[in-house]
Chains A and B, each alone.
Chain A
Amino acid sequence: MATMQDARVEAPRARRRRRQDLPPSGGKPRGTHPLWFLIPAFTVLGIFFFVPTIYNFVYAFTNWSSFKSEISFVGFDNFQGLLANGTLLSSLKITLIYAILVAVFQNVFGLLLALLLEKDTRLNRAARVMFFIPVIMSALAVGYIFQALLKTDGPLNQVIGFFAGGDVSIAWLGSTTWTIVVVAVIHAWKWMGLSMLIYLSGLKTINEDVLEAARLDGAGVWTTFWKIRFPLLAPALTFNVATALLGSMNGFDIVQATTGGGPARTTEILNIFIFRTFGQGLFAQATTMSLVLFVVVAALAFPVIGMLRRRENVL
């Protein structure tokens, strides 16, 4: 217990130290580098991030298309057209379902792996590397590999058939209800290594003394996990849920490679719809959709991250 008290005492001391780094006047921090050093970074940021984003807003209000050269302003026409057309809303719904599924699967898989591979044994280290490899693989490659594995006459069905003793022809990617779940699992599989890593680092930061105290108080493994370890993982959970949810809302590659949005557009997440619309030459409409996606992601990101951050207040 003594060390815990030390830790509590340590924190204000550190804060004081940081405060001492500031100039005594309390004004601007003493510059170690001139501000214009930032110009190259901001130029790159401006050209590759701000300008495209602003263009995204501008073009959404025009009639830019592949059919003619002139571009003129049309006000909210594109928005009205898209709202009247049910496809945008159904794509948004699919995107949200997909994002939630991915967030759940990726975090469950990642957390289970982290708990399983927590001890620093040689085998566990090797296993961690193995599970991290999909993260650095090309998403398209992952998609195409799974597409081949999940074919009706593909390896997965053959393996199931071998054990079940008989021909199995499950259309994994042909169900209008379940394929979105299958694709979400693939997406989660690809990124679970990253979640595992974040959870592992979260688990490592939990003070051994707290766990020891819990053990002394008679808490079992299950209670320790739910009452102590999981709440203390809050920052890791925030990061993992936010990145999984928002990353999959912007997803494209894995779905495009596995189903291309099919069957019957039941896995057509918004980015695939945007890609298709852009490909038809309806550039302004596609831009409008990506603006809608931007707004939806932002509208979702703030409350979700805010909520998760509030959980961290217990720390």
Chain B
Amino acid sequence: MKRLLMTTATLAAAGLLVAGCSDPGAGGGTADTGDITWPEATASLEGVELTLWAAQASNTIPEGVVAAFEDATGAKVEIVTIPDPYENGIQTKVATGDKPDLAFWQPTASMLTALNAANNLQVLDDAPWIEDMDPDLQDLTGILNDTRYAALVTSPSVQGVYYNKKVFADAGITELPTSFEDMVAKGRVIQETTGVTPFFEQGNNGWSTQWWPQVLLADAAADGFYDDLNANKASFADDVVVEAITTFKDLIDEGLFNSDIVTATFEDQGDALLSGEAAMAVQINALFGQFQAKADTATLNETIGYFPISPSGNVATSHPDQSNALVAFKTGDAAREAAARQFLTFWMTEYYPTFVEEQNTVSLMTGVESPASVPQALLDVHASLSDSVGSMQAQAVANPDLFMNVVDVINNVKTPQQAAEATQQQFVELAKASGIDGF
């Protein structure tokens, strides 16, 4: 009898739980479009407190604008650094109902999906600064299902090749590589004539190892590989991806990379390229941030150059990352939501000239000139955006951990085929969880 009672009680409790089964991250938002207003940039916000989440790589970017916004409006904005891995941390927090007012976020469709944008994020469709942006950039990113959820604040990252100009000159190379094959050939020349390591890659946490297969996929991407992938008509296990990973692995085995590729860090990569210990690195803008932390513009203009690369030419792969954009959350508090929108307006209008000046970065706005002190390589990076193709993160509907699988290949734990299959498996899993048609 006692046991029967216990069982009944347990079942009843479980039943209640199931009935109450709901997403703690859901709800709490305000009404959607329609009644969204965009307050004046400097309207008074006395007594309003906002929270802005940033990553270790982006937490200094908003310092200036936050101070100026606080002075101009009387609001308080607290910048909270969320430890790496940043995206994972945020998704977990948001899932448990913990939301900031604003956060740096990778503005690609897959990552907006990962945040359940329709439910958690404010719609930025009528943001007043959009029409003043460079037309090439207005709709480049930040959009999911025809709705704008992210505000681009800096020039989106691009996957391309950073090189040491002095090493190129020492090896007698005067023309920049015109294709991937040409780049590898020039790498071999550098190794033979100067003994300098042609390519530097960091396998410590290895997030940048995926750029190699990705730039090798640039032609396929231009031919609609990712569209087919999203429709479940192509796969990461297809030959084109396996070959890209294999090419990368073959170059490592040939000895064209640093010998400590398995343990080298991102910092090591920056140091090696600046000092001329290595000639080239396939990276995104974050590497240039690393250079800027260690050398001034004059030195950088002298030593570091940039060129985009793709199998058949010089097409860059655009890859907006979390330091390029912000999202505003639906917190359920109308005053704070409006204040968050006002903060973005203030940043992109009133403060923008000061912002590009203090960050020494390329301007996205037509009315604001880029500072003269912006290093040439950064201008080249920005220029390569206009005819770029989107990266995996930018185009695929879900964002699998390609880099982890590539790191497995570098460590000889997986073959390129196995790495490609594992990536596809995870892609399908994520696409299925996102409820994408065809999965």
Interface residues of B (CB under 8 A from A): 13-14, 17-18, 21-23, 25-27, 85, 87-89, 91-92, 94-95, 113-116, 119, 203-206, 260, 262-263, 401, 404, 407-408, 410-414, 422, 425, 429-430, 433-435
Question: Nearest CB to that of A77 among chain B residues?
Answer: B432
- A residues 35-76 near B (Cβ < 8 Å) are 51, 54-55, 57-59, 62-71
- A residues near B260, Cβ cutoff 8 Å: 152, 171
The contact of A81 among B204, B408, B429, by CB within 8 Å, is B429
User: Contact: A262 with B92, CB < 8 Å?
Assistant: no
The 4 closest A-B pairs by CB, nearest first: A279-B88, A264-B411, A69-B26, A264-B413
Q: Can you report 28 A-B residue pairs in the complex whose CB atoms are below 8 A from each other?
A: A51-B17, A55-B17, A63-B433, A66-B25, A66-B95, A66-B115, A67-B113, A69-B116, A71-B21, A81-B429, A85-B425, A152-B260, A171-B260, A171-B263, A173-B263, A174-B263, A176-B411, A263-B203, A263-B263, A264-B414, A266-B411, A266-B413, A278-B92, A279-B85, A279-B89, A280-B88, A282-B429, A285-B429
The contact of B114 among A63, A66, A71, by CB within 8 Å, is A66
- A residues near B434, Cβ cutoff 8 Å: 65, 67-68
Question: Nearest CB to that of A62 among chain B residues?
Answer: B21
- A residues 259-315 near B (Cβ < 8 Å) are 260, 262-266, 275-276, 278-285
Q: Residue-by-residue, is A146-180 near B (CB-CB < 8 Å gives 1, otherwise 0)? A: 00000010000000000000000001011010000
With A64-B23, A67-B435, A71-B22 as contacts: A262 and B205 at CB distance below 8 Å: yes
- B residues near A81, Cβ cutoff 8 Å: 429
The contact of B116 among A51, A67, A174, by CB within 8 Å, is A67
CA distance A285 to B425 in the complex (A): 14
Question: Nearest CB to that of A63 among chain B residues?
Answer: B433
User: Contact: B95 with A265, CB < 8 Å?
Assistant: no
Minimum CB–CB distance for B397 against chain A, Å: 10
Tier of interface size on chain A: 35 or more
- A residues near B410, Cβ cutoff 8 Å: 264
Question: Nearest CB to that of A90 among chain B residues?
Answer: B413
The contact of B23 among A58, A69, A265, A280, by CB within 8 Å, is A69
Seed contacts A65-B433, A265-B413; 5 additional CB < 8 Å A-B pairs: A262-B407, A263-B203, A263-B411, A264-B413, A282-B433
- B residues near A278, Cβ cutoff 8 Å: 88, 92
Question: Nearest CB to that of A81 among chain B residues?
Answer: B429
The contact of B262 among A55, A66, A171, by CB within 8 Å, is A171
CA distance A264 to B413 in the complex (A): 7
User: Contact: A280 with B413, CB < 8 Å?
Assistant: no
With A58-B17, A66-B25, A67-B433 as contacts: A265 and B408 at CB distance below 8 Å: yes
The contact of B119 among A65, A69, A263, A266, by CB within 8 Å, is A69
The contact of A264 among B21, B89, B119, B407, by CB within 8 Å, is B407
- B residues near A283, Cβ cutoff 8 Å: 95
User: Contact: A66 with B94, CB < 8 Å?
Assistant: yes
CA distance A108 to B88 in the complex (A): 38
Minimum CB–CB distance for A275 against chain B, Å: 8
User: Contact: B429 with A66, CB < 8 Å?
Assistant: no
Minimum CB–CB distance for B12 against chain A, Å: 12
Question: Nearest CB to that of B263 among chain A residues?
Answer: A174
With A67-B114, A176-B413, A265-B408 as contacts: A281 and B263 at CB distance below 8 Å: no
CA distance A161 to B430 in the complex (A): 47
The contact of A281 among B13, B17, B91, B401, by CB within 8 Å, is B91
- A residues near B17, Cβ cutoff 8 Å: 51, 54-55, 58
CA distance A85 to B424 in the complex (A): 11
CA distance A57 to B412 in the complex (A): 37
CA distance A283 to B262 in the complex (A): 31
User: Contact: A281 with B95, CB < 8 Å?
Assistant: yes
User: Contact: A66 with B407, CB < 8 Å?
Assistant: no
- A residues near B204, Cβ cutoff 8 Å: 262
Q: Residue-by-residue, is A242-269 near B (CB-CB < 8 Å gives 1, otherwise 0)? A: 0000000000000000001011111000
CA distance A48 to B45 in the complex (A): 40
- A residues near B425, Cβ cutoff 8 Å: 85
